[in-house]
Amino acid sequence: MKLLLINIKELLQVREISPRYISGKEMNILPTLSNAWLLFNGTQIEDYGTMNLPPDGNFAQIIDCTGRFVLPAWCDSHTHIVYAGNREQEFVDRINGLTYLEIAEKGGGILNSAKKLQETSEKELYDQSAARLEEVLYLGTGAIEIKSGYGLTPEAEMKMLRVAKKLAKKYPVAIKTTFLGAHALPTEFKNNKKGYLDLVCNEMIPKVVQEDLAHFIDVFCEEGYFSVEDTERILSEGKKFGLIPKIHVNQFNAIGGVEAGVRHQALSVDHLELLTDEDLNALKNSETMPVALPGCSYFLSIPYTPGRRIIDAGLPLALATDFNPGSSPSGNMNFVVATACIKMKLTPEEAINAATINGAYAMGLSDSHGSITKGKAASVIITEEIPSYGYLPYAFGSNCIDQVILNGRVL
């Protein structure tokens, strides 16, 4: 079935040949086509051009985009969208002065979510997660990574990943899954970290891989959670089973995890609210994508990832939501893009590149997502009538999206 978009005011992120990712100064360039058309054939982009040379043929549906911009759907490379319940009580505790780490030490935080998730049936977990996923699809997300890590037992971790896999079957969105068994130390293992690491390595990883439930392996590398040494053990074990590393690192402390990630050829290192010169140097000459999560900085009132410094050092940067109940209960990529501009001083061009093509790379989807390129997924956002694309991050609290098309399906 052919679907044609005509009279597009400006088609954004048009790449004849798509690079895998964009770095440094190049991030400030967003290739566009004015007065354009875009043709989908089923689930893929077939062709595009300008309205003075319209395509001929028969089209099942034509959408007139007069006054509107079209861009690739957002690529959200870091979420924990499968979770049970919420944590608004901790939100109030933080307003009253407790820190994220103090709440965690009281048994709140990740362990609180894990308890809820263990007690929630797979069906109920699916329903709660599907509602969140539907919300973010209408906000323009067309590819998303989903982590486990609120199970912390073999059964509950597998339950989370099965739910993510079911979501991937049901919805027209690309979903990549990540096993994050080492997200926190369960209470039963409070004095036996080695025991839990053994469980993750010897039981959970093989089971997850046997059921084909994950593409990536992740660790929360942080003081009070998992050390660099723990992280390296888990990444090495995951790699033996074909899982590609992606890590949570430098959220509250810089403990050398970035270098470890690069050493293990991590696809991405995420958070980086704290970043040393050594970390920055480690990222140079690597294929590891730094990922900033400005929604988390906003919600926890912690520093923003120094995105300007990262890009000015010639490196790439991706943006993601970190959608989760504790540190970022929002999966709105439009807000993330706006916040990256407002608080991290990215230009709209840099932020859009970071949230599309670089996000796609950070979840191994650069061949199929993140740009308007022939053969890539027919997954785009059609904006409302707006004056310029810079208006998207500028009007940070408004929903400027008129329609979302995912895999050729108009939502």
Segment lying near ligand NIG (by CB under 6 A), choices 18-26, 106-114, 125-133, 398-406:
106-114
Interface map 245-274 toward ligand NIG (x if CB under 6 A): ---x--x-----------------------
Q: How far is CA 85 from CA 89, 133, 184, 296, 315, in A?
A: 11, 15, 18, 18, 37
For strand 401-406 and strand 380-385, is the pairing parallel, antiparallel, or unpaired?
Answer: antiparallel
Query: Could you tell which of Fe ion, ligand NIG, none binds residue 327, using a CB distance below 5 to 8 A set by kind?
Result: ligand NIG
Shortest Cβ 312–Fe ion spacing (Å): 25
For residue 368, the partner it binds in Fe ion, ligand NIG, none, with Cβ less than 5 to 8 A by kind, is none
Minimal CB distance residue for ligand NIG? 326
The answer to whether residue 185 forms part of the interface with ligand NIG (CB under 6 A) is no
| Euclidean distance between CA atoms 394 and 297, whole angstroms | 19
Q: Is 109 in the site for ligand NIG (CB under 6 A)?
A: yes
Contacts with 390 (C-beta within 8 Å, 6 or more apart), sequence order: 348
Give me the DSSP letters along 293-350. -HHHHHHHT-PPP-HHHHHHTT-B-EE----BTTTB----HHHHHHHHHHHH---HHH
181 binds ligand NIG (CB under 6 A): no
Among ligand NIG, Fe ion, none, what does residue 393 contact (CB within 5–8 Å per kind)? none
When asked if residue 76 is in the footprint of Fe ion (CB under 5 A), the reply is no
Three-state DSSP state, 49: strand
Q: Which of 113, 250, 321, 358 binds ligand NIG (CB under 6 A)?
A: 113
Under the criterion CB under 6 A, does residue 326 sit at the interface with ligand NIG?
Answer: yes
Q: Is 6 in a helix, a strand, or coil?
A: strand
Q: Are 315 and 23 in contact (CB under 8 A)?
A: yes
Indicate whether 74 belongs to the interface with ligand NIG (CB under 6 A).
no
Q: Which of 232, 315, 245 is CA-nearest to residue 280?
A: 315
296 touches ligand NIG (CB under 6 A): yes
110 binds ligand NIG (CB under 6 A): yes
User: 156 Cβ partners below 8 Å, 6+ apart?
Assistant: 114, 117, 118, 150
Binding residue (CB under 6 A) for ligand NIG from 322, 349, 352, 386: 322
Q: Are strands 244-249 and 268-271 parallel, antiparallel or unpaired?
A: parallel
Helix, strand, coil shares of the chain as percentages rounded to 5? 35, 25, 40
Angstrom distance (rounded) from CA 332 to CA 128: 17
Instruction: State the binding string over 327-346 for ligand NIG (x if CB under 6 A, else -).
Output: x-------------------
CA atoms in the 13 A half-sphere facing the CB of 322 = 25
Q: Which residue type sits at 383?
A: T
Could you count the other beta carbons within 10 Å of the beta carbon of residue 189? 16
Q: Which is nearer to ligand NIG, 23 or 324 (CB)?
A: 324
Residue pair 216/243 in contact by the 8 Å Cβ criterion? yes
The interface mask with Fe ion, positions 322-361, x = CB under 5 A, is x---------------------------------------
Q: Which stretch binds ligand NIG (CB under 6 A): 38-46, 151-159, 200-208, 325-333?
A: 325-333
Best CA proximity match to 358, nearest among 370, 375, 372? 370
Question: 296 touches which of ligand NIG, Fe ion, none (CB within 5 to 8 A by kind)?
Answer: ligand NIG
Q: Minimum distance between the CB of residue 151 and Fe ion, rounded to whole angstroms?
A: 15
Tell which positions 228-247 bind ligand NIG, by CB under 6 A: none
Binding track over 266-305 against Fe ion, x by CB under 5 A: ----------------------------------------
Name which of residues 202 to 221 contact ligand NIG (CB under 6 A): 220
Which residues are near ligand NIG by CB under 6 A? Answer: 109-110, 113, 220, 248, 251, 296, 322, 324-327
Which residues are near Fe ion by CB under 5 A? Answer: 322
